[in-house]
Structure 1
């Protein structure tokens, strides 16, 4: 039933605590999975106090468990162990705390852990967190390298020494964290976010040496995987050895087989780069020398050509060719003129032969009537006494027609003389 209260009639704390306890006590037993932390065994008490942590949501729940149940698990009941517990929620009104009264604890064995990791891997892959398209390539020479690793660990030494051996001027920003146990996930996430906020850090290396599957479980934690996916800086995973494959390897931008391999992947080798520069310089020199030799041979070949070896010879040849063309043109024009002149003389001779003046030169005369200038072709055209003009080759003279045709005949006949 809902409790009734008001500012004038508030409820006492005991009433609220009893109501909460009554409601919680109605809940049945449930199976819960999580990570054990803060295991407290007090001498003389038959109850062991534990904390069950959810590494994804960073939520914890207090557990109370009979000592006999915990002792039955043996060495498996340690901080950081992944377990499944069966218990009933209970509320303690006196302290106002909620706990889970555990009656059974089952450690997750290797097979169960692998199955759960595979299920988580499929879930994260389906969300696209492992897609190759979202992976970033670290810069060739980072301004600073972020390093997340255990304190004074072999992994730290491998990364730092190899990175400085390859590039002595490399700057490394270190964050030392727990790399196993219940605190590892939270500390690695905090260090990752801190380094991700430093502008000079261009790549972050998360490194740890080898270990058992349980030791490497923090690097398959869902919360850590999502934190790496959300980072804006490229992340290199260097966890364990070649055969180890935590989920961090799948979400990281670069997977290194070992911490030493991570150092090789984040900074270049100065000796290799120097040798590469020398090789490229020699190759460039050979290419340039080959090109210059090729061009020099081309110039020699061009200079050996007649046009460049003896340019006057070609000019002389062209002069001779022009002279020949000019002489040929002159002969052609002369021939045309000669032929035209012959044709003109022939035409002139023809015209002269056909000209009336030539007929007059042979002794013929042309008779004109002086009155009208008409040419007399018949004696009947002339009457006695008509004034006539007689035209001969040398000129013309006047004449007068005689009486009758008999007198005119000598004139006509005279034209033949």
Structure 2
């Protein structure tokens, strides 16, 4: 029941503390899940003090437990372990502190851990945090590489040495964070966000060596997964070894099997790039030489042609063709003229053969009367008539003295 208080009738501190203790006492024993952030074993005391931290929120509570219960756990209880605690909440009124009095401790088994991680993976995947289309391409040559790792760790050495061996001029900006234990997820998120705000950092590598499933639990923390999803800079996950698969690998833009592999992914190999440039340069030179050889061969072929070797050859060739055609025309015309002359001679001979003049030249004559009519019979002329005789070279005028008829033989 609520306490009835007023400015005129305030409750003393002891009454409030006692009421709070009564309310908490009525809660009864509860099962609580959390991660052991700190273990304090005080010398000579039968009580062990634990700090139990929530796996998502930044909330912790003190747990007191009998030393025999803690020592009976197998494997032994260590910081960072996930546990189930059956405890009675209590409020110590004299100091105003809240704690849990543990009656039973249970280590969260590997199978249960994996099942919980799988459920978390499914929930986050359903939200689209692991979608392939959200993955960003790493820059070819980043201006600066951000590195989140533990100070002095083997992962830091592997990334740094391999990155500088591949590209000596690489700039590494390191943000240190705990890579194991209850503070790990929060510190990694803080380091990630600090590097993400740096405009010079082009890619961020989160690197840690291998470990057990419990050791790698911070890298499946939901808060860290969402922070990587919200980052504007490409993130490379290099947690553990090849078989390890925390949820960070799924949300990161690129997953590296080891920290050494991460260094190979974020910066190119200068020696390999130089070899590639040499190969490309040689191929370009070979292609250019081949092109020039081909063009030179084409020029040589053109230059070797008679028209270009001696431009007068075309004129000579054409002049020879013109001369040949002229000779053929002359021969054709001469042949035609010869044939025409032969035809004319034949026609002239025929004309001469058929001409009356030729008959006259053979001794024949044409007798005509005074009117010019040709006389062919004796009946057409009478004595005393005047006639003209046409011979080959002229005409003779004569008078008819006598007409004599001669008997002729008619043709059959």
Q: TM-score, normalised by structure 1?
A: 0.70
Q: Distance between the aligned counterparts of 1:217 and 1:254, measured in 2?
A: 19
Matches for 1:26-45 after TM superposition, within 5 Å:
26-45=26-45
1:62-85 per-residue CA deviation (whole Å, 9 max, x = no partner) reads: 222233322222553221110111
Match of residue 173 from structure 2? 173
Match of residue 129 from structure 1? 129
Match of residue 147 from structure 2? 147
Matched position secondary structure for 2:17: helix
1:72-112 per-residue CA deviation (whole Å, 9 max, x = no partner) reads: 22553221110111223222322222222222111012212
1:288 deviates by: 2.3
Matches for 1:36-115 after TM superposition, within 5 Å:
36-73=36-73, 75-115=75-115
Matched position secondary structure for 2:273: helix
Matched position secondary structure for 1:244: coil
1:147-171 per-residue CA deviation (whole Å, 9 max, x = no partner) reads: 1222222221111111111111111
Match of residue 194 from structure 1? 194
- Larger mean Cα displacement after TM superposition, 282-291 or 193-202: 282-291
Q: Distance between the aligned counterparts of 1:314 and 1:13, measured in 2?
A: 126
Match of residue 220 from structure 1? 220
1:270-299 per-residue CA deviation (whole Å, 9 max, x = no partner) reads: 111111111111111222233333334444
Match of residue 185 from structure 1? 185
1:305 deviates by: 6.3
Q: Distance between the aligned counterparts of 1:32 and 1:306, measured in 2?
A: 103
Q: Distance between the aligned counterparts of 1:66 and 1:252, measured in 2?
A: 42
Match of residue 281 from structure 1? 281
1:223 deviates by: 1.9
Matched position secondary structure for 1:55: coil
> Any conservation in 2 of the 1:166–1:267 contact (CA below 8 Å)?
yes
Q: Distance between the aligned counterparts of 1:137 and 1:19, measured in 2?
A: 60
Q: Distance between the aligned counterparts of 2:286 and 2:156, measured in 1?
A: 44
> How well do the aligned residues superpose, as a CA RMSD in angstroms?
2.7
> Any conservation in 2 of the 1:142–1:202 contact (CA below 8 Å)?
yes
Matched position secondary structure for 2:207: strand
Alignment of 1:21 with 2:21, yes or no, is yes
- Larger mean Cα displacement after TM superposition, 264-273 or 150-159: 150-159
1:201 deviates by: 1.0
Matches for 1:337-352 after TM superposition, within 5 Å:
none
Matched position secondary structure for 1:201: coil
Match of residue 12 from structure 1? 12
Match of residue 235 from structure 1? 235
Match of residue 206 from structure 2? 206
Q: Distance between the aligned counterparts of 2:301 and 2:97, measured in 1?
A: 101
1:307 deviates by: 6.9
> Any conservation in 2 of the 1:55–1:185 contact (CA below 8 Å)?
no
1:43 deviates by: 3.6
Change (3 A) 1:306 1:29: farther
- Larger mean Cα displacement after TM superposition, 139-148 or 309-318: 309-318
Matches for 1:241-390 after TM superposition, within 5 Å:
241-302=241-302
Match of residue 351 from structure 1? none
Matched position secondary structure for 2:281: helix
Matched position secondary structure for 1:173: strand
Q: Distance between the aligned counterparts of 1:146 and 1:253, measured in 2?
A: 14
Matched position secondary structure for 1:37: strand
